[in-house]
């Protein structure tokens, strides 16, 4: 097994290497983001994960979320709140204009105004989180792994914001994920997106740390202030001991998706995709993909 790890961790990682069969499969591994991209918009997925073309601008919301993660990465690595916040702000300011989809903001003045709003929204969101940050015994920050899983045709890749000592199961670890959102998610811990992401992270963290993985904890931080004065934070907990059936569904989904991308097929656009619909349709119109697609 090939392990790619770029993490600040306490403790050792033990990983056994196993050969992986590739065949006609056009990708080397699955990740939560690549699987969701394939399910949402196969043509946009093909462009990014098979052809490895990364020219689609990111959204302001995504920039703010990445900046928030950058700040928390530094904070949980032992950096003071003020410096951690500044690190995230630097991230926002260092993103070039051409990398951002400004939407209706086309002029230089409009883009400058949008950037100012992005900075304000970032500072407000990370300020909400760091006002009363959750406390954990942190074992790893930004833990990255690519691991083989028995029964799956491809390795899976995941990045865990934090790996921490479990407070409910001695000797086990929990995984912590942060999300900066415009509104709180519906469905809570039963939300399918959370469960699929949780299982990706479960397998990588279990292999890297060599310990039982008990829970996947999601902290959502709302970027806009609640008018009713309620907390800007929500916590969702997925207990893996209660999700055995979800693992079966996960395996079936990965196997079915792998089979689908392995067959000869045409990749069609999804114009209704709010993120990459227009881009994928432009690719389709121009017939930029060769006969392999």
Q: Where are the alpha helices (DSSP H) in 5-55?
A: 32-40, 42-45
Instruction: Tell me the C-alpha distance between 24 and 30, whole Å.
Output: 15
Overall average pLDDT of the 21-25 stretch? 63
Give me the sign of the Cα torsion angle 84, 131, 77, 82: positive
- The pTM for the full model equals 0.83
115-154: pLDDT as tens digits? 999 999 999 999 999 999 999 999 999 999 999 999 999 9
Domain segments of the chain as ranges = 8-50+136-262, 60-131
CA-based nearest residue to 141, from 14, 16, 276, 10: 10
In the predicted structure, residue 14 carries a pLDDT above the cut 50: no
Confidence (pLDDT) at 252: 95
Band of pLDDT at residue 282, cut at 50, 70 and 90: low
HSE-up (13 A, CA, CB side) for residue 80: 2
Range in 50-64, 74-88, 161-175, 241-255 the model is least confident about = 50-64
Angle (CA) 48-221-98 rounded to 5° is 35
Instruction: Tell me the C-alpha distance between 258 and 116, whole Å.
Output: 43
48-64: pLDDT as tens digits? 999 898 888 899 999 99
Band of pLDDT at residue 43, cut at 50, 70 and 90: confident
Which CATH number applies to 8-50+136-262? 3.90.320
Confidence (pLDDT) at 9: 43
Range in 160-164, 183-187, 198-202 the model is least confident about = 183-187
In the predicted structure, residue 285 carries a pLDDT above the cut 90: no
Q: At what angle do helices 192-209 and 32-40 cross, to 10 degrees?
A: 150
Q: At what angle do helices 32-40 and 244-262 cross, to 10 degrees?
A: 60
Overall average pLDDT of the 154-174 stretch? 98
61-86: pLDDT as tens digits? 999 999 999 999 999 999 999 999 99
Instruction: Tell me the C-alpha distance between 174 and 165, whole Å.
Output: 6
Instruction: Tell me the C-alpha distance between 2 and 28, whole Å.
Output: 11
| Ramachandran quadrant class, 262 (left: phi over 0; alpha: psi -120 to 50; beta: rest) | alpha
Contact 56, 279 (CB under 8 A): yes
In the DSSP assignment, the letter for residue 241 is G
In the predicted structure, residue 7 carries a pLDDT above the cut 60: no
Instruction: Tell me the C-alpha distance between 38 and 80, whole Å.
Output: 39
């Amino acid at each position: 097994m090939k392990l790619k790890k770029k993490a600040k961790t306490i403790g050792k990682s033990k990983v056994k290497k196993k050969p992986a069969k590739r065949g006609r499969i056009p990708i080397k591994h699955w990740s939560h983001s690549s699987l969701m991209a394939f399910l949402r918009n196969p043509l946009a997925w093909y462009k990014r994960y098979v052809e490895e073309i990364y020219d689609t601008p990111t959204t302001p919301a995504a920039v703010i979320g990445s900046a928030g993660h950058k700040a928390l990465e530094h904070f949980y690595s032992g950096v003071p709140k003020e410096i951690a916040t500044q690190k995230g702000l630097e991230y926002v300011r260092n993103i070039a204009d051409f990398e951002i989809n400004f939407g209706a903001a086309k002029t230089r003045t409009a883009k400058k105004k949008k950037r100012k709003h992005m900075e304000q929204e970032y500072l407000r969101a990370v300020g909400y989180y760091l006002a009363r940050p959750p406390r954990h015994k942190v074992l790893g920050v930004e833990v990255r792994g690519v691991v083989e899983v028995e029964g799956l045709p491809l390795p899976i890749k995941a990045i865990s914001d934090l790996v921490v000592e479990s407070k409910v199961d001695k000797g086990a670890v929990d995984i912590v994920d942060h999300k900066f959102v415009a509104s709180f998610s519906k469905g809570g811990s039963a939300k399918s997106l959370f469960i699929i992401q949780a299982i990706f992270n479960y397998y990588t963290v279990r292999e890297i740390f060599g310990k039982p993985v008990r829970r996947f904890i999601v902290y959502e931080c709302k970027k806009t202030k609640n008018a009713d004065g309620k907390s800007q934070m929500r916590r969702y907990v997925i207990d893996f001991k209660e999700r055995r059936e979800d693992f079966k569904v996960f395996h079936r989904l990965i196997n079915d998706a792998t089979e689908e991308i392995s067959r000869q097929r045409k990749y069609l656009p999804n114009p209704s995709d709010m993120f990459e619909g227009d881009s994928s349709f432009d690719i389709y119109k121009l017939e930029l993909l060769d006969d392999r697609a």
